[in-house]
Amino acid sequence: MYGCETEPMSIYHLDRIFHPHAVAVIGASERAHSAGAALMSNLMGSGFKGSIHPVNPRYSTVCGLACHPGIMDIGQPVDLAVIATRISTVPHLIEQCVQAGVGGVLILSAGGQKSGAQGVAMQARIRAAAAGSPLRMIGPNSLGLACSRCKLNATLAPRMPPEGRLAFISQSGALATAIFDAAEKERIGFSYFISLGSMVDVNFGDAIDYLGNDGHVSSIVMYMEQLNCARRFMSAARAVSSIKPIIALKAGRTPPGALAAMRHTGAATGEDGIYDAAFQRAGILRVKTFEELFDCAELVSKQPQPQSAGIVIVSNAGGPAVMAADALADYGVEPAALAPETTARLAEILSPMWSGGNPVDIRGDASPQRYLEVIEALLKTPKADALLIMFCPNAMNDPTETARLLVPRLQSQSIPIVTAWLGGASVEAGRDLFNRIGIPTFSSPERAVRAFMDLYHYNRNLEILRQTPVKLPQRLSFDRPHADFLVERQVAGGEPWMSEVDAKQLLTAYGIPVNPTWPAVSADQAADLANTAGYPVVLKIDSPGHAYQSCWEGVRLGLANEDQVRQGFAHLMAYAGSQPAGHAIRGITVQRMIGPASAELALTVRTDPDFGPVMAFGWGGVVTDIADDRVIALPPINRLLARRMIEGTHIYRLLKGYRDRPPADLLLLEEILIRLSQLSTDYAQIQEIRIDPLMVIETTLSAVSARICVRPTDVPAPQHLVIAPYPNEYETPLWLPQTGDILLRPIRPEDAPLLKNLFAMLSTRSIYYRFFAPLKELPSEMLARFTQVDYDREIAMVAVRENAAGQEEILAVGRIIKALDPTTAEFSILVADRWHGRGIGAALLHLCLRIAKAQGIRKIWGCVLAENTHMLALGRKLHFNIQRGQDLGEYELRMDLDDLPDGEFR
């Protein structure tokens, strides 16, 4: 579900779970093969430095430790309570943990929603037991939790994972133990292991958020079967993926797999294509197999990100080199071209047998020294952004000695280096040498190439997400009053499916071009409407129960005169009368038959139970069911995302012009997709929109057929979306005596050029006051971070005005960034030098503070340099509490927002 069953809770309290000082084990035991005994053994054997408190009324001691009859009897604060008892006992134990002030609970008990209706009810009881308290819960059905840094092994796994910087979140305990075994061999280390189980409280979004804020985590790997709280997940993933790689293995890709996953977790897994779209939008790299997850995790944990797909292949055998080149070609990539100076140097080393290209075949008799000389030359070439070094054993070479000679040269390189030492026992020692210094090694050329391309695609997707979307030539406008009327009337009427006439009116209200359609109640009226529309015309039966009239004789095409229209009307009415009583018929519609079309497109929106509104674009008409040609996206979308949807389809080749087919108006098509996205954003009642076909006729586009389904909903817009849209409600017009009319509004991704212009107008002093460092320009990554904000996480407002040329310019930027504790936040304000002293900064910051208070933020703070007298004066004007910071050159400005008067955002 895209909304959570409980109110979102702070990850601030998770620190007591992941870094506890005192752990209580409820259900501790010495009975062989019991969960309580295994848990005690792991905790005591992991080197945990905190205190361990067994809780079980049946024992006086467990593992040599005094055993307490209940959690209330421990006599000191408990950070983490691990429950290893029957699921039926858990609600009562949770109530006791709340009373004892326990920080968090880890529930290993089996049961919950995976056991059916009774399990769902049990999870509801568990939630109710913790309601209203800050207690956070992981599980049930959890394998446990491990934190290498604090030597905590509160799991049922047979061993502690090796220490490292990779964090692993999993819904499957068995998969986790298998990964730990393999990781030990490949020398991959983990900072955390978190088994979420049935996610009664802590979910993927919470875990990602916490790990993203931990400096000891370099990357995150996930095994997922189903998702809850999709909006929380998307918000966390979008924030963290820009600074740390996130890799996901989502099971249930196929119908049999989805069924197996549902039986395992007790919840549906969701449509796989939607997960693909969500992961891509969130900057997550998705892999399909356990092997690929492990391979990619190894590469991510050990190697830098590639700047391009320019990889150079080195091999002592031609066959593996060809296999690697073929594997690259499967991704549409060719081996990198070699620089002339590199080619000349390799010719000196390898002549006369060298082929002169990439892959670089150094022949079967290659000595360790020849390997080293070739690698030295390739590391100096400017066109090599990655190296794949392969070794195929034979009687003329030594795999271990070759690896030993290469290891010192390959350490600490700035480009990704991947090795494939092919074979079995004879190459194991060489592989181990590479693993020891953090160079991943694979058993086949294909696995090595796949792991590299996964890493490249992750980096490339982040670059695309950071691109600045171009503004549309004009600001879009919508007829909201008429749209409100149409939607509310349909909901009040009780019939979910709009008539085609009303559906097209709703699309027209949002500026989507349609082929006009009129209802006819008689043959005479149909003829009159046809004369008005112009021949030829199309007649359709308007029925809420049928999506494709042409499939059930519900349409008459190409009617060229009044007689044909009357005959067609009579035929359709007779046919409608012959249908079963359950097939409601509203009447007959008339529209002009347009065409011929150079292409027919399908644009759809439907409500997914996990992700809310989901858009799709692709080939339309009769081809829709034949060709699997669609791209899925999550609204809201901008122009860049709309273009990516279009370019991701096969029909794009036709749309950009093909042979005698002229190019379609792609700018108009982008605009239509954005308008459709806005329609689904504004109305949570809309369950489905289907425009099929949207006809492309030369450079015009027109929706020929449209169906829209609306239903009552308890979720108000825009909370039905999993990605927070632009908050129009915060737009505030303002008039200032020395400035005139300005607009205070949220920042948009399209504002990157305007923000760059603002930075160019700042003095060196203003830059230093804002960034606490001398910056000459804003890097593209920083521009993207400042403008592509998550409106759920950050309040970022700008003051803009129209200049003499009629274009917007940014005068000031205000920002409030929430802390781990969502009731506290940090503020910043930046005003262009020429606009100082005109009240712009005060108005902007005051609006930001009001928005923060409305969002539940209670305490605001900011750090100001002592010489920044303008900002200190602004702080006094707005009644901040100003105190010297720990650094004598800084002041801290603080405010309790409970003291800020309520009112409009003015």
pLDDT of residue 513: 97
Given the DSSP bridges, would you call strands 740-746 and 732-736 parallel, antiparallel or unpaired? Answer: antiparallel
pLDDT of residue 267: 45
- What 3-state DSSP class applies to 588? strand
Residue 293 neighbours by CB distance under 10 Å: 23
Given the DSSP bridges, would you call strands 360-361 and 417-421 parallel, antiparallel or unpaired? Answer: unpaired
Is the pTM value of this prediction over 0.95?
A: no
pLDDT of residue 551: 53
Name 746's bridge partners: 797
Give yes or no for a cis peptide into 440 (omega within 30° of 0): no
DSSP 644-709: HHHHTSTTHHHHT-BTTBPPP-HHHHHHHHHHHHHHHHH-TTEEEEEEEEEEEETTEEEE--EEEE
How many Å from the N-terminal Cα to the C-terminal Cα in the chain? Answer: 35
pLDDT of residue 781: 79
Tell me: the pLDDT tens digits for 616-625?
999 998 777 7
CB 642 within 8 A of CB 674: yes
pLDDT of residue 860: 94
Tell me the three-class secondary structure of 56-95, residue by residue: CCCCCEECCEECECCHHHCCCCCCEEEECCCHHHHHHHHH
pLDDT of residue 906: 43
Tell me the three-class secondary structure of 204-269, residue by residue: HHHHHHHHHCCCCCCEEEEEECCCCCHHHHHHHHHHHCCCCCEEEEECCCCHHHHHHHHHHHCCCC
Q: Residues near 414 by Cβ (< 8 Å), separated by ≥ 6? A: 304
pLDDT of residue 4: 54
Residues in the chain: 906
pLDDT of residue 269: 45
pLDDT of residue 265: 44
Distance of alpha carbon 195 from alpha carbon 143, whole angstroms: 6
pLDDT of residue 903: 52
CB 220 within 8 A of CB 208: yes
Distance of alpha carbon 683 from alpha carbon 231, whole angstroms: 17
CB 420 within 8 A of CB 313: no
Q: Evaluate the CA torsion angle 183, 187, 188, 189 in order and state its sign.
A: positive
pLDDT of residue 545: 59
For 452-563, where are the E strands, in sequence order? 517-520, 537-542, 555-559
CB 633 within 8 A of CB 641: yes
pLDDT of residue 114: 63
Question: Which residues in the chain land under pLDDT 50?
Answer: 5-9, 257-259, 261-269, 904-906
Closest by Cα among 44, 40, 41 to 55 = 40
Closest by Cα among 446, 450, 406, 443 to 423 = 443
pLDDT of residue 546: 61
What tokens were used for 871?
A: 């900002």
pLDDT of residue 13: 78
Closest by Cα among 320, 245, 324, 319 to 279 = 245
CB 158 within 8 A of CB 177: yes
